Amino acid sequence: MRKYFEFDKHGTNYRTEIIAGITTFLAMAYILAVNPSILSGAGLPPELAEKFPPATAVFTATALAAAIGSLLMGFIGKLPIGQAPGMGLNAFFAFTAVLAMGIPWQQALAGVFLSCTLFLILSLTGVRTKIIDAIPASLKHATTAGIGLFIAFLGLKNAGIIVGSEATLVAMGHLSFKEGMDAAQILAVKNALLTIFGLVVTGILFARKVNAAVFIGLLTTAVAGIIFGIVQMPTHVFSAPPSLAPTFGVAFNYLFDPSIIFSKEMLIIVFTFLFVDFFDATGTLLGVCNQAGLLKDGKLDNPGRAFGTDAAAGMVGAILGTSTTTAYVESSAGVAAGGKTGLTAVTVGVMFLLSLFLFPVLSVVTSAVTAPALIIVGVLMASSLKHIEWDKMEEALPAFLTMLTMPLSSSIAAGIASGFIFYPVLKVCKGKGREVHPAMYVLFVVFVIYFIWLRD
């Protein structure tokens, strides 16, 4: 195992990789609750909720898709990156494809399968690698930093430290108790304070260079939450996984009907899933691998394996009954804990398998508990900004827009698109158009079309 994952080359060991894998899993574990809620239409009126798959089956599909995807990434891709059904893509699946467009959820799963199949072809033929090699270094570093800001913002928002505001879009949440607060407001303040406590603890551990600081910080925060009654102890430990029968393989019922496959609605679904996953997953893979020091001259070793397993995981997820399975930015938490090899991802996969039976225990891993890890990791990933040539506006502006747009739009793909549009324009106006790879001009046109005609 040490030889297969090249421990000596990466300067790591079993303990570090396993702790990193558990840390990544804890940062990703929320998807086990969130994905079934979104894909089942939870909270919608009964007449609308019946248009969605059952939450119980989606939970099992989510856990299995995350487990298989992470195991594939670990054993074949050999990267410390966990995979699971992606946020954003699941919302598009439920609220656009099923609810707005009126497409049966079974047919939408077929669209996911087709998009991931095309994704796999692009990966195995090297097209995806060529596109990535064409991306300038400044935009790669900006992508890393942008993802860091994005997940830090998610941590602050999930903890209630940053809240929505009609006047300013976002504002600082309540951090102190006041008279007249109801139970929900009091709990929100407690969650915010718990996150701040965890952030201080984790920050101190990092400052003192304690190994596995993120993991220790997560555990400490969870224990503190239980002690002060903010996090509830689980009522039981074990439970049998729900049946997968309602969702397993239903996508195949639509894959052999040309009138459905080549319909306008299906083409829109396939293109959107492919487009968003291509750049979200690519940005995540490059960003996390850059943080782990696994890029050489801005490139991955054997990128076809990583990209191929990423696409294959999406196909498996569609068969099981969930929206697109993809690489997770929360993997950066495990990298921060020392993960550098595929054993980290394998550990994530094993944990997701165990979660099929131990889901009640995951109730202690609340958003307030994981938020400190996401914020700290954001700090670490933002360090990539030092590699950008800020004194050259043709490099600085596209990088800045890439970095800034991600958290403000809640979309990694939108951030990448912004940078890709401005970079060739500024280079041409600077008289350096020949320095831009031809693929960047093609992507410029694609992104402009996407923003003007297709994004809605």
Could you report the per-residue pLDDT of 13-55, keeping only the tens digit for each? 999 999 999 999 988 888 888 888 889 887 778 888 889 999 8
Mapped onto helix, strand or coil, the DSSP state of residue 296 is strand
**Residue 433, pLDDT score:** 92
Quick one: average pLDDT of 419-425? Answer: 94
**Residue 426, pLDDT score:** 96
**Residue 4, pLDDT score:** 92
Q: How confident is the model at residue 456 (pLDDT cuts 50, 70, 90)?
A: low
Quick one: average pLDDT of 60-71? Answer: 96
Q: How confident is the model at residue 213 (pLDDT cuts 50, 70, 90)?
A: confident
C-alpha to C-alpha distance for 245 and 33, rounded to whole angstroms:
19
Determine if residue 436 is left, alpha or beta; phi over 0 gives left, psi from -120 to 50 gives alpha, anything else beta: beta
Q: What are phi and psi of 417, to 5 degrees?
A: -60, -40
C-alpha to C-alpha distance for 199 and 249, rounded to whole angstroms:
43
**Residue 454, pLDDT score:** 55
**Residue 449, pLDDT score:** 83
pLDDT exceeding 70 applies to what percent of the chain?
98
Q: Which residue from 299, 340, 363 is spatially nearest to 130, judged by alpha carbons?
A: 299
C-alpha to C-alpha distance for 160 and 154, rounded to whole angstroms:
10
Within 10 angstroms of residue 162's Cβ, the number of other Cβ atoms is 18
Tell me which of 169-173, 317-321, 410-414, 431-435 is least confident. Answer: 410-414
User: Per residue in 79-108, is it b (16+ CB within 10 Å) or e — as a string?
Assistant: bbbbbbbbbbbbebbbebbbbeeebebbbb
Alpha helices in 102-247 (DSSP H): 105-124, 127-133, 137-158, 183-207, 213-227
Is the pLDDT assigned to residue 385 strictly greater than 60?
yes
Residues 15, 210 contacting (CB under 8 angstroms): no
Mapped onto helix, strand or coil, the DSSP state of residue 436 is coil
**Residue 211, pLDDT score:** 66
**Residue 292, pLDDT score:** 85
List pLDDT tens digits, range 299-322: 777 777 888 898 999 999 999 999
Q: Which residue from 75, 443, 6, 370 is spatially nearest to 194, judged by alpha carbons?
A: 370
Which DSSP letter does residue 86 get?
A: P
Q: Which residue from 306, 358, 325 is spatially nearest to 67, judged by alpha carbons?
A: 325
- Residue 54, C-beta contacts closer than 8 angstroms, at least 6 positions apart: 40, 246, 247
**Residue 193, pLDDT score:** 96
Is the pLDDT assigned to residue 133 strictly greater than 80?
no
List pLDDT tens digits, range 237-269: 788 898 999 999 999 998 888 888 888 788 888
Q: Which residue from 106, 393, 104, 450 is spatially nearest to 271, judged by alpha carbons?
A: 450
Tokens, residue 88: 């954003």
Average pLDDT, rounded, for the chain: 88
Give whole-number Cα distances, 41 to 14, 38, 52, 113, 320, in Å.
Answer: 41, 5, 6, 21, 18
Q: Which residue from 96, 382, 126 is spatially nearest to 265, judged by alpha carbons?
A: 96
Residue ranges per structural domain of the chain: 7-388, 389-456
Give whole-number Cα distances, 228 to 13, 202, 338, 371, 445, in Å.
Answer: 36, 19, 30, 18, 54
